[in-house]
């Protein structure tokens, strides 16, 4: 089961639960690279037995954790041949681009965004000691000052009127929509942790943060054929608001997207 995410406010796109595969060519607007990162189909891996009490889902507070989140996104949204020449350097390059773009968005330097937060789901390294999780641990590990942990899920919560190259939501209307509307993007979960409720936990945490920001309407984009992602969002309370015009999807060379909407309680 593979999920796909919503588009990246950094001008990136995304992959796993909402939809827009991370397009590094847009991380720095002045640099248009000649490739697009494609979502990776999940492989048949054994889902580890996880103690759910050890999950922490929270906003990123350190650059080490932010780097681990960037590495998870590169690992999730890209189908890279592990035997290809210089593959590790290429992964590092992609992670550095995403890391810098993340810092720019969170620091408020991206025009059009009132606020951006990177929300991560993490587990202690000791919970992922099996050989099937070795690559995940190596790529996405960080220290929180107490123990080594691994970023196993990540998303961006974007307080803004719209995301670049995506369908814009219509709610709320009138004055103040920049402050009351938010989009989820870059929603991803490590393939080793699928079916552990990580995506649902990330979305529920994001709802709480959004309410603290004064958000009343939350949106997420998902490709029309991504049934697993749509089930997750429907379970979380989203419903379909609109569909991307077919011509726009063809023009942007990507699968057609749905725009899903969720009304957040104001109290």
Q: How many CB atoms lie within 10 A of CB 261?
A: 19
Tell whether pTM > 0.85: no
The residue among 174 and 239 whose pLDDT is bigger is 239
Each as own residue / partner, the long-range contacts of residues 129-137 (CB below 8 Å, 24 or more positions apart, any chain) are 130/46, 130/48, 132/45, 132/46, 132/48, 132/192, 133/48, 133/192, 135/75, 136/75, 136/190, 136/192
Catalytic residue among 183, 200, 233, 251: 233
| Mean pLDDT estimate for the chain | 83
Predicted confidence at residue 48, as pLDDT, reads: 57
Whether 251 is catalytic = no
Predicted confidence at residue 44, as pLDDT, reads: 45
CATH class for domain 56-263?
A: alpha beta
Q: Between β-strands 257-263 and 239-243, what pairing exists: parallel, antiparallel or unpaired?
A: antiparallel
The residue among 168 and 51 whose pLDDT is bigger is 168
Q: Please write the tens of the pLDDT for every residue from 120-156.
A: 999 999 888 676 688 899 999 999 999 999 999 999 9
Predicted confidence at residue 174, as pLDDT, reads: 83
Q: Please write the tens of the pLDDT for every residue from 16-43.
A: 444 544 433 333 333 322 333 344 444 4
């Amino acid at each position: 089961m593979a999920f796909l995410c919503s588009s990246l406010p950094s001008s990136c796109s995304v992959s796993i639960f909402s939809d827009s595969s991370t397009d590094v060519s847009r991380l720095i607007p002045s640099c248009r690279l000649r490739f697009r990162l494609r979502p990776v189909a999940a492989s048949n891996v054994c889902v580890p037995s996880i103690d759910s009490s050890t999950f922490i889902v929270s906003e990123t507070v350190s650059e080490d954790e932010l780097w681990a989140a960037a590495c998870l996104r590169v690992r999730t949204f890209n189908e890279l041949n592990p035997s290809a020449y210089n593959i590790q350097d290429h992964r590092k390059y992609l992670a550095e681009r995403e890391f810098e773009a993340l810092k720019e968005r969170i620091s408020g330097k991206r025009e059009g965004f009132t606020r951006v937060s990177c929300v991560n789901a993490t587990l202690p390294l000791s919970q992922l000691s099996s050989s099937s999780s070795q690559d995940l641990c190596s790529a996405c590990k960080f220290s929180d000052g107490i123990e080594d942990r691994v970023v196993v899920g990540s998303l961006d919560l974007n307080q803004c009127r719209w995301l670049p190259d995506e369908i814009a939501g219509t709610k709320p209307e009138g004055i103040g929509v920049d402050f009351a509307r938010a989009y989820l993007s870059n929603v991803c979960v490590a393939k080793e942790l699928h079916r552990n409720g990580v995506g649902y936990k990330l979305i529920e945490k994001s709802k709480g943060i959004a309410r603290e920001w004064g958000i009343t309407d939350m949106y997420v984009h998902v490709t029309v054929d991504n049934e697993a992602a749509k089930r997750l969002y429907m379970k979380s309370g989203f419903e379909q608001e609109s569909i991307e015009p077919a011509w726009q999807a063809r023009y942007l060379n990507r699968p057609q997207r749905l725009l899903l909407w969720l009304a957040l309680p104001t109290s």
